[in-house]
Amino acid sequence: MATAMRAEYREEPCRTALNPVTGMGFSWSLNPYMGCVHRCTFCYVRSFEQRADRPSDDRYGASIRVKTNIVEVLRAELRRRSWKREPVTIGAATDPYQPAEGRYKLTRGCVEALAAARTPINIITRGPLAVRDVDVLVEASKRAEVTVNFSIPTLDLDVWRRTEPGTAPPLQRFRALRQLVEAGVKAGVSVAPVIPGLSDGPEQIEAVVRAARDAGATHMWCIPLHLKPGAREHFMEKLARDWPGLVPRFEDLYWRTYLAKSEAEPITATFRELQSRYDIADRRPSPIAPPPAPQQLALAL
């Protein structure tokens, strides 16, 4: 089993909680922590760290910033008249359910704050700890749309151990997903990233899709690996250590950030066919209807 590394935890307040986002498919992000002990070799956050002149190599994840006041800051931001209740993604730049959350409960507090403001929530995680918050996730689902996405790129235990060294095993994530769905939370799987030569085989993708179906996933999506500067150097170093024979192929595939269309399309086509075959796209848990918005009552004269 992969284990989390020892990390230094820095308790530091933040000035803002909600971050505007461009080019990511969503408009607002929220990250209760900075840094992640999961240490995934492919993590795209390493590219942001390099651009910010922070460590993007093996030191990434050794120091975690804990935004101790983020819940209070978030509540204040949500009270602003300018807030339009746009969807907020939690976990775009750090895993909100990494081990530190067990102690600090900042993600839990943020979910409660967003729910109180009737703000849609989208959570991205590799952490089964999300099950701890099933109560607040169910309550939040009554007030706004809530989606939990478990990132599970492979069931191959060797690939998992080497590329996601600080994460819980894939089957633990599937068990957590099942518990959330059975409680009535919309929970699905992001098959991401799919790594050429390691997890892109049709039988490997099918294993993940089948397990997602069996766990009751309400939705799925798939993203082939991309490697921006910072993430690329670290990934290639680990690839040379664990699968040296693949290095020449990756140097050819990733001379730029994204896979060429001719390489990426077979992966996404295989995924779409399997998603349709296992009938996941349209499956949903028992609906929990949000209560109607408060209405202004007319005064009787």
Domains and CATH numbers, the chain: 8-277 (3.80.30.30)
DSSP SS3 for 301: coil
Q: Tell me the sheet residues that pair with 67.
A: 12
**DSSP class of 39:** -
Kindly report the pTM of this predicted structure: 0.90
pLDDT (tens, 9 = 90+) of the chain, 301 residues, equals: 444 457 899 999 999 999 999 877 789 999 999 999 999 999 988 887 787 788 778 888 889 999 999 999 999 999 999 999 999 999 999 999 999 999 999 999 999 999 999 999 999 999 999 999 999 999 999 999 999 999 999 999 999 999 999 999 999 999 999 999 999 999 999 999 999 999 999 999 999 999 999 999 999 999 999 999 999 999 999 999 999 999 999 999 999 999 999 999 999 999 999 999 999 975 545 444 444 444 444 444 4
145 contacts: CB under 8 Å, gap ≥ 6:
87, 120, 121, 186, 290
Angle 95-281-204 (CA atoms, 0-180°, nearest 5)? 65
In the three-class reduction of DSSP (H, G, I as helix; E, B as strand; rest coil), residue 146 is classed as strand
Alpha helices in the chain (DSSP H): 45-51, 70-78, 100-104, 106-116, 134-141, 157-163, 170-183, 202-215, 231-242, 247-253, 261-277
- Report the distance separating Cα 29 and Cα 21, nearest Å: 7
